[in-house]
């Protein structure tokens, strides 16, 4: 018999299985003290990771969350994205990728906690920072300040989300997984800049949030003056210096940036896991008890969700799970080991304050006491250049530069942030056997722009005011009458057209012909197009296509920023000098003809006559739609589209938008990246991919495909070559591992750690290919003193000749293998030397 009754305080369901007499009380009491978040009376050291639900397909969620759990996470964090949930005022969407309830329930099913960052301003490199564009047009509105219309809308959405969670019993106070909630996002400095109204708004936001009664604590990140009981938290690459605004609040790091986002035309950024681990260990040793990786899985900005301007469709973020949901090694594995080591110390860390001892000029020990006696210690070396040998508790420990060691029993080093035991996986985009049916094309008719579905006005209008962001594209067209007496018609010295734009990209057509294009950058959105134009005597049509590339997501009152062609637009070089067209009569057309017809969606694709692309390498005019069909590639590797042969545009599969593509090359400075990781991380010093397209591959979730006849539609603004568009599958190409023969013997480690005593690895090298892959060959193996990094290993002065045969015997043909690293396996190639084993193995789908 099962009896149900309600908890008086939190409406929590108490299920009592009477015949077993075991009460299963699902509700949790979540509060905090100065040391930690306290769940059901127990202080917790919590490791969290950001996974944003609309940045992957729902079919991927469970796998991502389970991988996160296996990576040692306790909590999944997500923002709530207002503009996907309320695309027009009062009309809500919680379907598909927007199914927030399903996402939180998936977290719950995996046995993890959730942190819901409702915002509703989220920043997040997301279109308009998460605000719906209609919000800008609410009369009298001003975003993120003490403004009634804004506060009314923000309160309504916040309550909508809180109520949705409550209805589904998803707060921990109801038995659900949500243990934390966030209001606003990094408002502190913005509020300060606004003065009293900023302060009033922040207070209002906190109190409004508290009144929703979630039964779990609220946080405000980067908000020094967060009012009680809201916890102010830290975001950044490091948070070791962060102190909450009241001594009774715990030290929480809501965004530990695992990498950085990219913009089209910019480099990509990597952040070495050694430094991420260092930052976490440093934060924890100084009293931090909650760390969230931003991002743990970055994912994809599908459709037109990328913020901007110019944020790429990929939001990979160099996260432990890559854009495609695959494990990124060694980032994932090394952090997993860090989490395991920290959890071994959890009881000591959350129950005592550290004793800090100096171990040298740049070396320290933080010692925490176990309640049952003994201690746990964290030893740090802040020196960025030299390793240090320190004596702690009468034992000598070697600390590599910029590294931290964890000793759960104050004697045994179970983890050092700079010593990476996890394997490295080299990922590749391999051809997927998906033949495209012959490409067909349909060109936008530039001559008929402005003929229908358009309006005219005098002067130049802001693009977003006109489009309301229903399309990236806005046509501005006008006509100019050139008298036959103009000298340039005789002397051939063509006049110059000048167009000043507030952003983001522009294409100029004169009498139906492309005259040129230009675009801004994230730093300098404004740009000027200037080019010679072929005008003729009589009427000339000037058609300017202004293209938005994501609305701003950050900046004071970004809702007021202009986009599009706001002038001046002028022709220079005429007999009368300059002709300013800015205040003349302009015809406006929102979007492309193909968009209006929904050419990208299966039911409407055939509303026009498509023509065969005649031959390979045939380049068509600018503004051309292409279509082809393909069957789903075999296997279950994640898929992508290689768009390297195209220029700029958008792409859809079976009517679902893969996102914007742009193959413009990265112009960053990659020469400053020397691969080192010591010292404070700076994205600009860690750029990769300069000289190559910032983004060439575009994620296609497998769940969007059917076995046969998938419709692929591409809208190309420039003049790309569709015949070379190809499906690719993301797979592990090779795996490397590098293990020293010496490993600490931790078998006798006596510690109190939430009841679990763990054995740490012996000196073993482990290799594992991707799902359904096998090790097909050993590219490199050397036990001795090998040199180099993965992909570039070479033999050192000492090398055991048995290395290859042993690795081949143990590994080839297997999905994974492990080999003990020691003289008794390989023979001793050089006694009295500390040896290591470095291996690179090739992975493939055939054994
Ligand atoms: C933070 C912000 C996040 C995200 C991140 C950068 O400042 O809170 O939403 O934008 O920066 O990737």
User: What is the per-residue pLDDT across 750-797, written as a single tens digit (0 to 9) for each?
Assistant: 443 444 334 444 578 999 999 889 999 999 999 999 999 899 999 999
DSSP element (H, E) containing 352: none
745 confidence band (pLDDT: 50, 70, 90): very low
Residue 617 has a pLDDT of 57
Q: What are the percentages of helix, strand and coil residues in the chain, rounded to 5?
A: 20, 35, 45
Q: For residue 196, give every residue at least 6 positions away whose Cβ sits within 8 Å of its Cβ, in sequence order, or none.
A: none
Q: Are 299 and 55 in contact (CB under 8 A)?
A: yes
| Partners of 304 in beta bridges | none
Q: Which of 126, 189, 294 to mutate to test the pocket of ligand 1 (most atoms within 8 A of CB)?
A: 294
Q: Which of 125, 187, 271, 307 to mutate to test the pocket of ligand 1 (most atoms within 8 A of CB)?
A: 125
Residue 616 has a pLDDT of 58
Domain 427-442+596-730 fold: Jelly Rolls (2.60.120)
CB of 123 shorter than 6 A to ligand 1: yes
CB of 186 shorter than 6 A to ligand 1: yes
14 confidence band (pLDDT: 50, 70, 90): very low
Residue 762 has a pLDDT of 57
Residue 758 has a pLDDT of 40
Compute CA distances 313 → 465, 793, 796, 823, whole Å.
24, 34, 43, 50
Residue 742 has a pLDDT of 64
Could you list the active site residues? 186, 255
CB of 721 shorter than 6 A to ligand 1: no
Residue 7 has a pLDDT of 45
Structure tokens at 136: 């800008």
CB of 124 shorter than 6 A to ligand 1: yes
Which CATH number applies to 732-748+760-844? 2.60.120.740
CATH architecture of 44-328: Alpha-Beta Barrel (3.20)
Structure tokens at 641: 């589209």
Angle at 472 between CA 470 and CA 478, to 5 degrees: 100
744 confidence band (pLDDT: 50, 70, 90): very low
- Distance separating alpha carbons of residues 584 and 243, to the nearest angstrom: 58
Q: Are 586 and 458 in contact (CB under 8 A)?
A: yes
pLDDT in tens, 647-683: 999 999 999 999 999 999 999 889 888 888 999 998 8
Residue 747 has a pLDDT of 40
pLDDT in tens, 95-147: 999 999 999 999 999 999 999 999 999 999 999 999 999 999 999 999 999 99
Per DSSP, the residues of 702-731 read GGG--SS-EEEEEEESS---GGG-EEEEEE
3-state secondary structure at position 399: strand
Q: For residue 524, give every residue at least 6 positions away whose Cβ sits within 8 Å of its Cβ, in sequence order, or none.
A: none
Structure tokens at 178: 């949500």
Q: Is 747 exposed, middle or buried (0-12, 13-18, 19+ CB in 10 A)?
A: exposed
Average pLDDT, the chain: 93
Instruction: Report percent pLDDT > 90 for the chain.
Output: 88
Higher-confidence position of 620 and 173: 173
Residue 207 has a pLDDT of 98
The CA 123 to ligand 1 mean position distance, Å, reads 6
Q: For residue 356, give every residue at least 6 positions away whose Cβ sits within 8 Å of its Cβ, in sequence order, or none.
A: 364, 365, 366, 367
- Distance separating alpha carbons of residues 435 and 418, to the nearest angstrom: 45
State mean pLDDT over 820-843. Answer: 92
pLDDT in tens, 470-494: 999 999 999 999 999 999 999 999 9
DSSP element (H, E) containing 464: helix 463-467
The CA 315 to ligand 1 mean position distance, Å, reads 12
Q: Whose CA is closest to atom 3 on ligand 1?
A: 124
pLDDT in tens, 590-639: 999 999 999 999 999 999 999 999 865 566 789 999 999 999 999 999 99
The CA 414 to ligand 1 mean position distance, Å, reads 33
State mean pLDDT over 719-727. Answer: 94
Residue 619 has a pLDDT of 67
Class of domain 446-591: mainly beta
pLDDT in tens, 358-417: 999 999 999 999 999 999 999 999 999 999 999 999 999 999 999 999 999 999 999 999
450 confidence band (pLDDT: 50, 70, 90): confident
833 confidence band (pLDDT: 50, 70, 90): confident
- Distance separating alpha carbons of residues 842 and 773, to the nearest angstrom: 10
The CA 417 to ligand 1 mean position distance, Å, reads 25
State mean pLDDT over 76-86. Answer: 98
- Distance separating alpha carbons of residues 514 and 554, to the nearest angstrom: 34
Statement: residue 695 has pLDDT above 90? yes
Residue 594 has a pLDDT of 97
Q: Which of 129, 255, 269, 292 to mutate to test the pocket of ligand 1 (most atoms within 8 A of CB)?
A: 255
The CA 124 to ligand 1 mean position distance, Å, reads 5
- Distance separating alpha carbons of residues 74 and 80, to the nearest angstrom: 20
Statement: residue 344 has pLDDT above 80? yes
């Amino acid at each position: 018999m099962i009896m149900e009754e309600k908890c008086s305080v939190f409406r929590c369901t108490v299920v009592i299985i009477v015949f077993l007499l075991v009460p299963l009380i699902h509700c949790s009491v979540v509060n905090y003290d100065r040391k930690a978040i306290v769940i059901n009376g127990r202080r917790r050291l919590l490791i969290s990771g950001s996974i944003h639900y609309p940045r992957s397909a729902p079919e991927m969620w469970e796998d991502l969350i389970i991988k996160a759990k296996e990576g040692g996470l306790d909590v999944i964090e997500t923002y709530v994205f207002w503009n996907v949930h309320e695309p027009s005022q009062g009309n809500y969407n919680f379907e598909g990728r927007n199914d927030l309830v399903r996402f939180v329930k998936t977290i719950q099913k995996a046995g993890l906690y959730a942190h819901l960052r409702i915002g509703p301003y989220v920043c997040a490199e997301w279109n308009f920072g998460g605000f719906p564009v209609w919000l800008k047009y609410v009369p009298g509105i001003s975003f993120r300040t003490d403004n009634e219309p804004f506060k009314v809308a923000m309160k309504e959405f916040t309550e909508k989300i809180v109520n949705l969670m409550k209805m589904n019993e998803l707060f921990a106070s109801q038995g659900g997984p949500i243990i934390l909630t966030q209001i606003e996002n990094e408002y502190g400095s913005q509020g300060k800049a606004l003065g009293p109204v900023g302060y009033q708004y922040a207070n209002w936001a906190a109190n409004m949030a508290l009144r929703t009664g979630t039964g779990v604590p609220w946080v405000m990140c980067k908000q020094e003056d967060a009012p009680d009981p809201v916890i102010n938290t830290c975001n950044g690459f490091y948070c070791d210096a962060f102190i909450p605004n009241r001594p009774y609040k715990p030290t929480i790091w809501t965004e530990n940036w695992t990498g950085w986002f990219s913009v089209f035309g910019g480099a990509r950024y990597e952040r070495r896991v050694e430094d991420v681990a260092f930052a976490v260990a440093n934060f924890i040793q100084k009293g931090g008890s909650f760390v969230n990786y931003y991002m743990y899985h970055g994912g994809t900005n599908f459709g037109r969700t990328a913020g901007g301007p110019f944020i790429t469709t990929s939001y990979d973020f160099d996260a432990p799970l890559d854009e495609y949901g695959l494990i990124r090694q060694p980032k994932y594995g090394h952090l997993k080991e860090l989490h395991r080591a920290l959890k071994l110390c959890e009881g000591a860390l959350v129950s005592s304050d550290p004793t800090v001892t100096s171990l040298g000029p740049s070396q320290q020990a933080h010692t925490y006491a176990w309640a049952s006696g003994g201690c746990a210690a964290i030893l740090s070396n802040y020196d960025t250049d030299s390793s240090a040998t320190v004596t702690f508790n009468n034992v000598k420990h070697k600390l590599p530069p910029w590294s931290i060691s964890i000793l759960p029993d104050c004697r045994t080093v179970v983890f050092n942030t700079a010593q990476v035991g996890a394997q490295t996986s080299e990922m590749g985009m391999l051809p997927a056997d998906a033949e495209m049916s012959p490409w067909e094309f349909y060109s936008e008719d530039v001559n008929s722009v402005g003929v229908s579905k358009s309006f005219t006005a005098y002067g130049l209008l802001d693009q977003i005011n006109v489009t309301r962001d229903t399309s990236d594209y806005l046509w501005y067209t006008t006509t100019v009458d050139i008298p036959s007496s103009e000298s340039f018609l005789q002397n051939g010295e063509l006049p110059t057209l000048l167009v000043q734009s507030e952003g983001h990209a522009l294409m100029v057509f004169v009498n139906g012909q492309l005259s040129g294009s230009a675009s801004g950058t994230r730093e300098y959105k404004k740009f000027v197009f200037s080019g010679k134009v072929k005008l003729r005597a009589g009427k000339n049509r000037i058609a300017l296509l202004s293209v938005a590339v994501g609305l701003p997501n950050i900046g004071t009152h970004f809702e007021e920023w202009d986009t599009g062609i706001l002038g001046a637009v002028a022709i220079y070089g005429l007999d009368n000098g300059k002709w300013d067209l800015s205040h003349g009569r302009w015809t406006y057309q929102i979007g492309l003809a193909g968009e209006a017809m929904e050419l990208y969606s299966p039911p409407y694709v055939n509303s026009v006559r498509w023509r065969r692309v005649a031959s390979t390498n045939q380049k068509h005019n600018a503004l051309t739609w292409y279509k082809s069909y393909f069957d789903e590639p075999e296997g279950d590797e994640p898929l992508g589209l290689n768009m390297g042969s195209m220029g700029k545009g958008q792409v859809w599969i079976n009517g679902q938008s893969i996102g914007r593509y742009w193959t413009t090359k990265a112009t960053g400075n990659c020469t400053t990246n020397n691969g080192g990781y010591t010292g404070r991380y700076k994205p600009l010093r860690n750029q990769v991919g300069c000289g190559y397209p910032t983004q060439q591959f575009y994620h296609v979730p497998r769940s969007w495909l059917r076995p046969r006849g998938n419709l692929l539609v591409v809208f190309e603004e420039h003049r790309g070559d569709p015949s070379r568009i190809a499906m690719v599958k993301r797979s592990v190409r090779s795996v490397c591992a590098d293990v020293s023969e010496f490993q600490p013997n931790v078998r006798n480690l006596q510690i109190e750690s939430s009841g679990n005593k763990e054995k740490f690895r012996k000196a073993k090298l482990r290799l594992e290919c991707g799902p359904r892959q096998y090790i097909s060959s050993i590219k490199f193996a050397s036990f001795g003193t090998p040199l180099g990094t993965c992909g570039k290993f070479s033999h050192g002065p000492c090398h055991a000749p048995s290395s290859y045969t042993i690795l081949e015997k143990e590994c080839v043909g297997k999905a994974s293998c492990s080999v003990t690293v020691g003289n008794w396996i390989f023979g001793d190639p050089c006694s009295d030397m500390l040896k290591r084993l470095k291996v690179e193995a090739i992975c493939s789908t055939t054994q």
